[in-house]
Amino acid sequence: MGLLLLQVLLQFLFLLPMLGSSTINVALPDCEYKCGNIIVPYPFGIGRGCYLETAYAVECQKPNNLLLLQETRVPVISISLDGYLRVALNVSRNCNGSETEEGSVISYSFSQFATSDIRNMLTGVGCGTASLRDNGNIGNQITCSTEANKMIEGSCNGSDHCCQSYMPRFARGLRISATNICQPKAYSSCTYGFLVENGEYSFQESDISSSWTKKEYPVVLDWWVGKGRCRVEAKDLDSYACKSEQSVCSDSDNGPGYVCNCSDGYRGNPYLRNGCQDINECEDPSLNDCIRQENCKNREGTYVCICPKGHRGDGRKDGTGCVANPQVMNLLTKILVGTIVGILVLLLGFSSVYWTLQRRKIFKMREKFFERNGGFLLQMQLSRQNRSSSQTRVFSAEELKIATEDYHESRIIGQGGQGTVYKGVLPDNQIVAIKKAKIGDCSQVEEFINELLVLSQINHRNVVKLLGCCLETEVPLLVYEFITNGNLADHIHDRSSRPFVISWKTRLKIATEIASALSYLHSAALVPIIHRDIKCANILLDKNYTAKISDFGCSRLIPMDKEQLTTLVRGTLGYLDPEYFQTSHLTEKSDVYSFGVVLLELLSGEKALSFSRLESERHLVTRFDFAIGKNHLADILDQRISGNGKVEQFSRVAHLAMRCLRIRGEERPTMKEVAVELEGLRDSKNVFGRRTDHISFMFNSTKSDEVWTI
């Protein structure tokens, strides 16, 4: 039991650097990295395609989780990326004095491994000789002899039935044998020979009896990669195994190849691309020697200790520390500063050409991305509108990469047809939403530029605010204010994850704010704007349930001299204006129709289009119209709000929704009229607090005397 616990502890210590960060990979993608409690890091691997070469192939036998070297079938105890492999090797046993006895000779042959000459000992127990010969080098042989006159518990030397000898170097083909010379009446009748890791064997008197049952001991093997030294395996060759950019190569001390390690300040698996990750020394006081931990600043591959204001020094415990800065520098300090400045100027002079070339390269790359991402299209559109892009902040690619933790999947807060939205935190701790276009989809570039043009000229509290953009990356990025409370669709449709019910008062407030924003877009903006995709999923809610219209990728600017545009039909089924769908003529009344569907969703709590309903009622508009025709409007109201709502408000909102949903656009009200009517409903005090069991709704239709009653 004690040996097993020690093995598990060593396994943990060997691989602790790799497991310190959840973002560091141990094995190749889609490959197993554990067999029971044993970690299997690349270049070792379980299964085809998961290891560097056949020599590193291991097999995990189920159900006992026994890890074996596939080449030799030797059990593996642990694997270390430091170039060590702990295995279990058998014991050679000789009780009759003949090498033909079964078990008296144990042989192993390794292609990429050698027994560690400093971590193992050849051990003999009994009265005889234990020997080890390297099959690959016949002259490379060691022996140890025991004597039968002393027994000392816990010790092992040449005079007490136990002997140990140090290992030869470069031993890959092993032949371990035991020779028995015990007398017939000797205390022991058997001799045992075996390899064992230093400190893993302690001699006991009972070990020299023929009933000794120990069959194997842990042995440390050195492993390496490649067929030559570091200077031979050039880094530009495909066979070079140190794949991480932050890795270094070291020649093996006990083999013909080399081993890879992460550079100082990094940890992980150097045999994988991006396998070595920066260590944040400032998170662990034991990794840095700063006098004050709050003044430790992490850097890529290292860290710095910053002295408080008014002090100078390196801020380190074993350095100059931090001392008060004198008011007047002495002559020596002036000379030192002058020398440093002179050297810096000289270095800057020599490096100016290099940095000029680097800046030119970076400039060309950014110019390429800028052109591909529609930067010139944006400039052309802005010039046509006599506007400047200075109103919108331009973010750097590095700034947004840091804000989203390199666009980690845990930062994704939404995905749609135009791209993916990430949550980001800027250096000033401002939380933003970053919209990233789909890679390789050129059609999305125009939509992003269109959304940038539309949002950059909008200033309304109920329209999501555009903070800036970034066009110097592989795909364009838009940066918005972050809205904390999700979208309206989740709140009124997803009852499982949103147990809190939005009250009717709040729903009416949301409807009023949406109508106000659309009215602004249609009539108060510098150039009229048609959203073209109004739906609950595009209406965001902040912590106070204030509505924010988002997703302007499908929107269109309407010149002042035109009342409609002929465009390709864009929108979402269930919200799409039927007149626009049939004629392709886009007007502001298309948004009115979509808003009418949103009103029905607020009233009923049901989705605009659902295939779980009857075929004749899949569209909420049809279902609503059917309920009205059968005098069953109460059946379609959301039961979560109908019991405590305001009956007259339900009636008037339903009336307004039906007007917005008329087939002919010219018969629908404008969004300004809708906003005024909804605002009047909110301000009207005589409709609050009333309840009744009988409600009459009157709707304008082609027949002036048509009345629906429930």
* Long-range CB contacts for residues 338-343, cutoff 8 Å, separation at least 24: none
CA distance 603 to 509: 13
Q: Which of 17-21, 62-66, 136-140 has the highest mean pLDDT?
A: 62-66
What are 196's two structure tokens? 């064992």
pLDDT, residue 168, reads 83
* pLDDT band at residue 139 under the 50/70/90 scheme: low
Q: In 10 A of CB 329, how many CB atoms?
A: 12
pLDDT, residue 671, reads 94
Query: How would CATH label the architecture of 367-482?
Result: 2-Layer Sandwich (3.30)
Q: Is the pTM of this model over 0.75?
A: no
Predicted confidence (pLDDT) at residue 60 exceeds the cutoff of 80: yes
Average pLDDT over residues 306-313: 82
Predicted confidence (pLDDT) at residue 538 exceeds the cutoff of 60: yes
pLDDT tens for 547-569 read 999 887 666 666 544 555 556 67
Residues annotated as catalytic are: 533
pLDDT, residue 511, reads 95
pLDDT tens for 206-246 read 777 766 777 899 999 999 998 888 877 666 677 889 999 89
pLDDT, residue 692, reads 35
pLDDT, residue 544, reads 92
Predicted confidence (pLDDT) at residue 194 exceeds the cutoff of 50: yes
Q: What are the C-alpha distances in Å from 599 to residues 302, 514, 652?
A: 58, 10, 11
- Would you kindly state where each structural domain of the chain is located, as residue ranges? 84-223, 283-324, 367-482, 487-709
pLDDT, residue 688, reads 42
pLDDT, residue 462, reads 94
Query: How would CATH label the architecture of 487-709?
Result: Orthogonal Bundle (1.10)
Taking a C-beta distance cutoff of 8 angstroms, is the pair 179, 196 a contact? no
Average pLDDT over residues 70-79: 93
Predicted confidence (pLDDT) at residue 17 exceeds the cutoff of 90: no
Map residue 438 onto helix, strand or coil. Answer: coil
CA distance 453 to 389: 9
pLDDT tens for 669-692 read 999 999 999 999 887 754 444 443
What are 48's two structure tokens? 């085809």
Average pLDDT in the chain: 80
- Mapping DSSP onto H, E and C, the string for 584-617 reads CEECCHHHHHHHHHHHHHHHHCCCCECCCCCHHH
pLDDT, residue 10, reads 45
Name residue 84's beta-bridge partners: 80, 222
pLDDT tens for 561-597 read 455 555 667 778 889 999 988 888 888 999 999 999 9
Predicted confidence (pLDDT) at residue 376 exceeds the cutoff of 80: no
pLDDT, residue 151, reads 57
pLDDT tens for 431-457 read 999 988 776 555 566 666 767 777 777
